[in-house]
Amino acid sequence: MEAHDQAVSAVSTRLRHFYARREAFRVYHGSTNSTRAIHKDGDSIVDTSRLDHVLAVDTVRKTALVEPNVPMDRLVDATLASGLVPLVVMEFPGITAGGGFSGSAGESSSGRHGPFDSTVVSIEIVVPNGDVLRASKTERPDLFWGAASAFGTVGIVTLLEIQLQDAAQHVQLTHYSFSSFTEASQKLQEQVADTSVEFIDGIVFSPSKIIVCAGRLVDTLPPGSHPRRYLGRKDPWFYLDVDKRTASSSSTVVDYVPLVDYLFRWDRGGFWVARYAYRYFLTPFNRVTRYALDRFMHARVMYHALHKARLSDTYIIQDVGIPFGAADAFYQWLDETLRIYPLWLCPIRVRRDSADAAHGLHADFANPNTPELVLNFGVWGPGPDDYKELVRLNRLIEQKVHELGGTKTLYAQAYYTEEEFWESYNKPAYDAVRSRYHADHLPNVYDKVKVDDVARQRAREPTRMPSILRNRRPFQGLYGVYKAWRGGDYLLQKGAPGKPKQAP
């Protein structure tokens, strides 16, 4: 813990420097799974990129003590060595524990256990005046829940204690086929109610083909069964395999998937979003091209290319949670308005049952009248070429979600006006935490997640690409692929003088 404490002390010193001047700052993690345009200046950030270690796995309490920049694949490796696995593992290997807590995250086990922040036992956090505090659901619960989903606007999380459970060798994955969204929605709820089911999600391939996937943890395979794998270069992409295997069967299809392959089944192809890259580059989409380009089809590389190519504002990328009672209405609206397929469906248990949890941005989740479950819709696809039309469609999504009593995950672009934003999130509860812990002089979460045209422009400036080729297909995309191939930093702007500063 000595190295950890020294790193935290440096973060604290840096924050005291900014607090004395009441200056804003940005946190540099070294990577991101956000799709927003990002501009960071080395003089105005706090570098936490070295806080990336698993410090301990407690096999008695079934917890892991991890620093915020530990990615999911390293967390899973560390816990599986002790026969344990986190309750919620985000779908991409590069998503970090801190990102899952501070930025909202859920996966197919969230119907059972809630969002990732609900599986965190406690945090260590440096608040803006430099104080290093511990918070949990019972100790400073206002700070704990206030920091959850706050995107670093309450303080900098430097350590997380994460709840674990016993792992198994495989996931028994049952695929149920439906031609009706209403029937599929009912099946999702039935599977959540079945306590033997650990993982529940679904894929809407088309209005007439919806697959619900329900997983159970198992250690043994039936005689004659063979595991289906999804992480190797020769393996199929998960969604393509599900589509193919359910096409020839009118009954349920049961697969056995090694646990790690299941947890990161969406990594290759980024669900199915990488398929749009083939279309963008006019490249055939088949087993041969997927094999040849496999290096570029993993989420870590795709995010790198996305940020360097500045293509995120040409796509509709939204995750929204809708109460199950309104899910049919939202699905019909999506089908009529956008016609984007496939869609991802994932039940998430959002209601907080712990005492004194009505704090922060999502304080309303502690209201007993809040629906226990919402259905997350992953809506990801190409938008119109006209930027104004893209904005209009995204705003329509946000307005419809609000109308139906839902909320959206804020890792992607937010097109709300400020007034509209605070109609969906609890500003009084959020502001109260920020005031109590010396953060009210900092930009708030709306400032951080809103579409920022100035940041969009600045993010486009530091590039060596000739101006005549910028924003032109396929040159802008090729530039992103080239930069992803080269590697290196893709968040700090080259105009920033030197490396991120750790102390004044």
Nearest CA among 253, 206, 211, 179 for reference residue 108 = 211
Is 377 in a helix, a strand, or coil? Answer: strand
Give 263-306 pLDDT, tens digit per residue.
999 999 999 998 988 888 888 999 999 999 999 889 888 766 55
Are 96 and 116 in contact by the 8 Å Cβ rule? The answer is no
Report how far residue 106's alpha carbon sits from residue 348's, in angstroms, rounded to the nearest whole number: 7
Which of 44-53, 368-377, 471-480 is predicted with the least confidence, judged by mean pLDDT? 471-480
Cα torsion through 440, 446, 451, 456, rounded to 10: 20
Check residue 91 and give its pLDDT: 94
Sort 107 into a burial class: Cβ within 10 Å, 0-12 / 13-18 / 19+: buried
Check residue 283 and give its pLDDT: 87
Give 468-489 pLDDT, tens digit per residue.
555 555 545 554 554 555 555 4
- Average pLDDT (120-146) is 97
Report the share of the chain in percent with pLDDT over 90. Answer: 75
Sort 52 into a burial class: Cβ within 10 Å, 0-12 / 13-18 / 19+: buried
Task: List CB contacts of 17: < 8 A, sequence separation 6 or more.
Answer: 503, 504
Check residue 300 and give its pLDDT: 85
Report how far residue 37's alpha carbon sits from residue 39's, in angstroms, rounded to the nearest whole number: 7
